[in-house]
Amino acid sequence: MAFSDLGLSEQVLRAVSDAGYAEPTPIQRDAIPVVLTGRDMLGCAQTGTGKTASFTLPMIDVLAAGQAKARMPRSLILEPTRELAAQVADNFELYGKYCKLSKALLIGGESLNEQAKVLDRGVDVLIATPGRLIDIFERGRVLLNDVRILVIDEADRMLDMGFIPDVERIASLVSRLRQTLLFSATMPPEIRRLANAFLTNPKEITVAPPATPAENVHQGLLLVKGTDRRASGTSNYKLKRAALRELLGQEEVKNALVFCNRKRDVGILCRSLQRHGFNAAQLHGDMPQSARMETLDAFKQDKVTLLVCSDVAARGLDIKGMSHVFNFDVPTHPEDYIHRIGRTGRAGQKGRAFTLALPEDSRYVASIEKLIGGQIARIAVPGTGGEVPDEAPPETEGRRRSRSKPSTKKDARKRPRDSARSRRDEEQKEPESPVRGLGNHVPAFLLRDPMSGKKMR
């Protein structure tokens, strides 16, 4: 089937042809005609399947007739993260280049006033994260009565992030005469409930069985033996960092996402990799939006090789030709494993995904394997069986290969400060175990003499 068989306008077809797409993907083939007829749709599809174009392309045509009023967007797309929202906005830019559509992006981390000003001019498409939209709504800067198409994208991720109450509130503010499209990679009962509440007689489209990992991804699991820290003085995180470096040294890494489960570990691992001479940057939800966008751009332009990230920040990132995904931590939700490894092996290319697991991760590994219906191949990497290789081992052929860039002056500055002190500092900063009470911190008032107010020794 060709794009021209789907009922899209000549302008949209021209933009699709400029994008170089030869034929529609299965979700596009099934969804585009449904969206054009105005029917509600429940799409079970992962990112990487062409899902975004499956709703943006027909929306451009549906919205072509009509005029937006000030503060009253004509369509609304909800995305769980700022990056995904920005990506969808880019899609409208790309596919809508021969049409006159106005759009606005409402995402946290950027000036609320500036974003609201765009709404004042009237927009056809509003792409927003739920929290920021509610914020702007409560300030009276946007009205949702005129929204004719509502898209709830990545619904299962919205659920994971606790956004469902916000989504429900927003959906109840939008006119009942709307068309609603809901996309989710998986269909847990809560998403079914949401669909039943907000969709009317939807056409259900499932393009790949949920929880099927991308076929083009070679997967491996590296068991890191772990150690009793008190006995050996070595932490499991240190062992995992050493194991990751070994793995990076063995693999032909062009560019990779390295996932951590916790935000605070993202920074620690990133700094550790940089100290060992890897071209790494970090991406997590606590970074200012401008820094997130800058880092992402640098990664997309191959200026950064390893992007250490959290699930939230990297969800749905569409980066072409990414060679690897590394799970520094085993994801605790098995669905996250699918999402993570699906960042590679996109658009028919081959990808490689490796997961580092400690003995205590065995139940998470088991639930991932249950979900994907098979065992992940165990791999052996010399030097990772529980003993720690030297912190800065001599340069090996493999290691040199995996280093991102030829050494430039700028890179050289990123080389390890090979002092024992800097490594010690890093280890000391690492939160190995949860901080209880005030941890090592003693509040200043406890150190003062209550009578004199002077500092006690």
The footprint of ligand AMP (CB under 6 A) covers 21, 24-25, 28, 47-53, 318, 347
Nearest residue to ligand AMP on Cβ basis: 52
CB of 390 to ligand AMP, least distance (A): 41
The least CB distance from residue 321 to ligand AMP, in Å, is 10
Q: Which is nearer to ligand AMP, 28 or 355 (CB)?
A: 28
- Minimum distance between the CB of residue 27 and ligand AMP, rounded to whole angstroms? 8
Bridge-based pairing state of the strands 351-357 and 217-223: parallel
Q: Which is nearer to ligand AMP, 25 or 219 (CB)?
A: 25
Shortest CA distance to 389 belongs to which of 290, 286, 250? 250
Name which of 45 and 244 has its Cβ closer to ligand AMP. Answer: 45
Q: How far apart are CA 433 and CA 165, in angstroms?
A: 33
Closer Cβ to ligand AMP, 93 or 286, answer by number? 93
Question: For residues 88 and 239, which CB has a smaller minimum distance to ligand AMP in the complex?
Answer: 88
Measured from the CB of residue 52, what is the shortest distance to ligand AMP in angstroms?
A: 3
Instruction: Name which of 54 and 227 has its Cβ closer to ligand AMP.
Output: 54
| Least distance (Å) between residue 28 CB and ligand AMP | 6
Least spacing, CB of residue 167 vs ligand AMP, in Å: 20
What are φ and ψ of residue 344, in 5° steps? Answer: -110, 175
Query: CB-wise, 52 or 384, nearer to ligand AMP?
Result: 52
Instruction: Label residue 58 exposed, middle or buried (CB < 10 Å: 0-12, 13-18, 19+).
Output: buried
Distance separating alpha carbons of residues 95 and 235, to the nearest angstrom: 50
Six-digit token string for 379: 């791999």
| Main-chain phi, psi angles of 357, to 5 degrees | -130, 135
- Measure the CA–CA gap between 15 and 404, rounded to whole angstroms: 35
CB of 317 to ligand AMP, least distance (A): 9
Which residue type does 430 have? E
Q: Give min distance, CB of 154 to ligand AMP, in A.
A: 10
Q: Which is nearer to ligand AMP, 47 or 279 (CB)?
A: 47
Structure tokens at 228: 């009793």
Cβ-based nearer residue to ligand AMP, 47 or 404: 47
CB-side exposure of 1: number of CA atoms within 13 Å? Answer: 13
Which tokens in the block code for residue 242?
A: 């050493």
Contact 248, 389 (CB under 8 A): no
Q: What is the dihedral of CA 122, 123, 124, 125, to 10 degrees?
A: -150
Query: What are the C-alpha distances in Å from 199 to residues 57, 195, 279?
Result: 21, 5, 46
Side-chain-side CA neighbours of residue 77 (13 Å): 28
The rounded distance, in Å, linking the Cα atoms of 365 and 358 is 10
Q: How far is the CB of 408 from ligand AMP (least distance, A)?
A: 29
CB within 8 A of 23, min separation 6: which ones?
1, 2, 3
Give min distance, CB of 88 to ligand AMP, in A.
9
CB closer to ligand AMP, 197 vs 347: 347
Beta pairing, strands 179-184 & 256-259: unpaired
Q: Determine how β-strand 125-128 pairs with β-strand 280-283.
A: unpaired
Q: Shortest Cβ distance from residue 93 to ligand AMP (Å)?
A: 12
Residue indicated by tokens 């794009």: 3
Phi-psi region of 316 (alpha: psi -120 to 50; beta: other; left: phi over 0): left
Cβ distance to ligand AMP smaller for residue 206 or 332: 206
Q: Helices 51-62 & 26-37, crossing angle to 10 degrees? A: 30
